Amino acid sequence: MLALNLSFLSAQATSEQSYSRAEQLMGCHFSITVTAENPTEAKRYLDLAILEVKRIESLISSWDEKSQTSEINRNAGVKPVKVDKELFKLIERSVSLSKLTDGDFDISFASAEELRKAEESIPESSDMGKIRKSARAIGFRNIILDKNAGTVFLKTKGMKIDFGAVGKGYALDKIRSLLIAKGVSAGRVDASGDICVWGKQLGGENWKVTVNDPFDQRKTLAVLPIPNGAVATSKKYHVSIKTDGQHHSHIIDPETGLSPKGLASVTVFAPVAEFADALATSIFVMGRKAGLKLINQTPGTECLIVDESGAVFTSKNIKINQP
């Protein structure tokens, strides 16, 4: 499993100090670090950040029956649902990302309900036919957006949207924007390995991320700077479900409803976390060659890929020493 660990340099003399807080939010581990003049100021910033995550979760969660996302899913094939402008724009951007990746990123992957249920219970086997049937409900082209009315309509019964492949990144970006607006000069937010940063470390250096070998956590593949940007990783968990004798991870190929094969981890660097989050998932689905081609054609983005054999591949602007 790929771990992303930030390496801090020694702080120089400054009136500001670093303050951190960790909490379980959005189903994952959040660690938030800010610079502030004193503990009282830091507490105010950290409280605001955590409240922002909870606000976003209440809006986009597909598990909260009261959320607007759940209301959209309940009305699939029935009627359009009017939503807040913020959610509408997030869905609109998600559809644009689906077009960019030829459907390898698709928030309607949640339609593969049989696969999701199988993943949760982790059975020894799951009905392949049911999984393929549920996958037929996947399709971003059946997400109908009416900008004038502010409505979202899932055209096909059984369709569901979920922001698992982009929601953490969106939350990171919102926290960063909020804290910058409040005057926080530097900080980092880490949501189970998806990270965004701004400003510099107290020592005046850029933030750095250590990328470890997914097969050997003791082995470092690279230590890379992330100046005022974000990094996200998609990786194949060891826990998986089993269908027709084959093991599959939690990542879903929208075309089949099953797990893609070939890669062990994908780490993407981008200006914003939402984009990095979505691209990491997309590349895991589309594969190494198509993924590197996409990254090399997308300004401001880089990636590091480890395939299932342990081979390491990087985009054109990342240079690492390999044995």
311 is in an annotated binding site: no
Nearby residues of 309 by Cβ (< 8 Å), 6 or more positions away: none
Sorted by sequence, the CB contacts under 8 Å of residue 75 that are 6+ apart come out as 81, 153, 154
Q: How far is CA 149 from CA 82, 123, 206, 243, 322, in A?
A: 7, 43, 44, 43, 54
**What is the DSSP-derived secondary structure letter of residue 118?**
H
List 269's β-bridge partners, or say none: 231, 302
Which tokens in the block code for residue 102? Answer: 């030829």
Look at residues 229, 232, 175 and name the one whose alpha carbon lies nearest to residue 198: 229
Confirm if 115 and 258 have CB atoms less than 8 A apart. Answer: yes
Contact by Cβ (8 Å): 278, 268: no
Q: Per the annotation, does 191 bind a ligand?
A: no
The verdict on whether residue 281 carries a ligand-binding annotation is yes
CA distance 268 to 279: 7
Q: Residue 277 and residue 231: Cα distance in Å, rounded?
A: 8
Distance CA(306)–CA(233), nearest Å, equals: 11
What's the rounded Cα separation, in Å, for the pair 172 and 193? 11
Which residues contribute to the annotated binding site for Mg(2+)? 165, 277, 281
